[in-house]
Structure formats: structure tokens, C-alpha cells
Structure 1
């Protein structure tokens, strides 16, 4: 099989994976609201799915952290960030200790990750800089923007009141909010999968004595040199 055909099939595979992933928010919401008819609570399939997606995202970056020392400081920071998001999603469980207790383990994880990343700030900045040049960084930014900005703006109460009137059914607003949040988590997870795939491909074909930091540096320098020559 020619290289061109392999690239095309790989691209189609990426599309099919993303197409499958974006059906899951609809499937989980439909199961909770139509089949179970118990709404979207802390014990709903939708919430469990969000937690699973965040856990797998943190695990993906955690695997790179564990396997590669040359990018470990930055990847620890990313793993810590998504671990904190995962802990936040488990707030209902941590509330069994006391309300808002989730912030305690989240702070411990955040402080530990920042402290470790700060031990080699040069490596952290270097890896972060090249991480932004990775093609999966765009989908990560898209997912974070959907989660932190779009879903919040789209879920504002006065926005829905303006459309449906002051007596609108709050269930509609909740479904839209949760659907957008799950979609954002799916996009973030897709980005994490892509980054992990790139790392695993490098491990399979890497040169002798080459570390991942050297590889991404040489890869990006190639394009910088080409742009400089123009």
C-alpha cells in the first residue's frame, strides 16, 4: 500500500473516531432523560461519562509523564491540571466529607504539579513552547474554549429567558449546558489521544539515544528554518 493511501486511510480513521466520540454526549443524555427518566444528577450516566473522559485524558498525559523523562516536568503540569478537573467533577463524592472538600485534594495536586514543574523551569517552558506547535494543541484549545467560555455564555439564564420567556422549562437549559460540557470534554479527550498517538509513534521509530524533547525540537526547527529562508 502506498504512503499516500495510508495517509488518507489514517485521516479517515481520525474522522471516524471523532464522529464516534461526538455521538456519546447525545447517547448518554438520551439514556438519562428518555430511558431512565431521572434527569441529570450526580449519579447519572452523563456525569459518570464526564468523569471517565477526564480520567482518561489525565491518564493519557500521565503515561507520557511516566515514560519520558525529557518532557516530564511539563507533562506533569498538564496531568495535574486535568487531574484537578477530574477531582472537581467528583465534588459530589467529596461533599460526603464536607461541602467543598474537593478543593483540598485539588490544591494538593495543583501545588505538587507546579512545584515539580518549577524544578526545571527551562525544560517546562521548552516543552510547553513546542507543545503549542503540535497539531493537537488546536483541538485542545477548542475543547477548553467550548468548556470554559461557550458553554458558560450559552447557559446564561437571561439568554434563555430572552428566547423562551421568564417561565421557560429549566430542563431545556440544563440539557443544553450538559451537552455542551460533555462535547467539550470529548474534544479535549480527542486531543489527548492524538498527542499520545504521536508520542507512541515516536517511541516506535525513534533514533538511538534520541529523547522526545530533542525530536520535537528538531521537528519544529525544520519548519522554522524553512520559513526563515523565504
Structure 2
């Protein structure tokens, strides 16, 4: 009996250690991408491994949130909005390629995706609000919020040219600024996908519990004392 009581916390600790190891290896791979790009002197290029990795992580986040929208109806509206949001970010990252059509062309698909996402969300605003409430109260919400703040606020302030000009003075090298800014963005995208995976597992677990309850309905005898 005592062995069972002890083994449960021990298993929990080992499970937490395993989670840490997996996340540490994941972030080590992100650092490896940055090291490779710096060694190849290919950081600022649109075709750099950092830029490609950012697009892959964004595409993975878009796909994951779309899957969440299909898996669990309670998350559907919010997950669809988040999927559209990250698709717009992906389009923005591809601005140099899309601008080959004409300057500013990327805004057309970005605005189209935005309109297509906001219309059903506004039309069913009560459902959207309830779905968003579930998303922001999830245990994975802090990870997503930190990642978004890192992407939309910190990386912009940290990557300001004036900061690096003051830091390096006459030895200012633009590539150093680009490494700092792009690597921070890459870390943010990595955290966003990590949060998206968490939401997906949470949605799958909620779906499984719902299916179990449907397949094993509670009878009056079960409720009796």
C-alpha cells in the first residue's frame, strides 16, 4: 500500500522530467538552426534556414489550430480565429515573395483571410466569446500569451536598429541586429506551436471524455445512494 502511494508521486516527477527533456531538446534544435544560419552567413536572407523554419512553424500552428476546430466544438470558433491569425502572419512573412506580383500585394490575401475569419465570428459572437473564454482559461494560455508578447512586442523593441547602433557604435553590423531579431521571432514561433500542441491534446482529451460519457450514460441506479 505504501509502495503504491510512493510510486504515484515518483511517476509524476519522472513524467515532468521527461516533459522538460523533450522541451529542452526542442529548444536546442531551435538554437541549432540559429547556429547553422550564422555559420552559413545567411541570416538576413529571405531564403535563410531561420526564415524557412519560421514559415514551417507558422504552417504547423495554422494546421494544428484547424485540427482543434474540427476536433472539439467548444474550441471551434476560437481555434478557427487563431488559425486565421497565424495564416495572416504567415502571409506577412512571405511579403517579399508575394510582392513580386506588385508592391503591397501581400495585403490582399491577408485582408481576404481576415474578412473570411471575422465574418462568421461576428455573426455568431456569443459562441465565439464562449469559445475564446475556454481558450484563455486553458492551462496552455500563458504559454501562448508569452509567445505572442515575445513575437509582437519584445522582438520588435529588441530588434530596433537604434539599440544595436548604440550598443556597437562605430562597429555596428546590421547582421548582428538581424540575428537578434530573427532568432527571437523564431523562438516565439516555436513557443506558439508548442502551445498549439497543448491545446490539441487538451481538445482530444475533452473529446474522448465526451465520447466515453455518451457511450456509458449514467442511469438512475448509478445516481442512487
Equivalent of residue 89 in structure 2, options 85, 89, 98 = 85
TM alignment of 1:65-76, pairs within 5 A: 65-76=69-80
Would you say 1:201 and 2:209 are equivalent positions?
no
Equivalent of residue 119 in structure 1, options 105, 123, 126 = 123
Displacement of 1:200 in angstroms is 1.6
Displacement of 1:147 in angstroms is 0.8
Would you say 1:41 and 2:83 are equivalent positions?
no
Displacement of 1:57 in angstroms is 0.8
TM alignment of 1:1-230, pairs within 5 A: 3-34=8-39, 36-206=40-210, 207-209=212-214
Displacement of 1:48 in angstroms is 0.6
Cα 1:12–1:203 change in 2 (3 A) is: farther
Q: What TM-score do the two structures reach when normalised by structure 2? A: 0.85
Matched residue of 1:165: which SS? helix
CA RMSD in angstroms comes to: 2.0
Which runs of 5 or more structure 2 residues have no equivalent in the other structure?
Answer: 216-225
Which runs of 5 or more structure 1 residues have no equivalent in the other structure?
Answer: 211-230
User: Separation in 2 of the partners of 1:9 and 1:202?
Assistant: 24
Q: What TM-score do the two structures reach when normalised by structure 1? A: 0.83
User: Separation in 2 of the partners of 1:37 and 1:203?
Assistant: 47
User: Separation in 2 of the partners of 1:133 and 1:73?
Assistant: 15
Aligned match of 2:218: none
Displacement of 1:148 in angstroms is 1.0
Displacement of 1:3 in angstroms is 4.4
Aligned match of 1:215: none
User: Separation in 2 of the partners of 1:7 and 1:68?
Assistant: 27
Instruction: State the aligned residue count.
Output: 209
User: Separation in 2 of the partners of 1:39 and 1:183?
Assistant: 15
Is the 1:32–1:38 contact (alpha carbons within 8 Å) kept by the matching residues of 2? Answer: yes
Larger radius of gyration: 2
The Cα offsets for residues 111-141 of structure 1, whole Å up to 9 and x where unpaired, read as 1111111221111111111211111100101
Greater relative contact order structure (CA < 8 Å, 6+ sep): 2
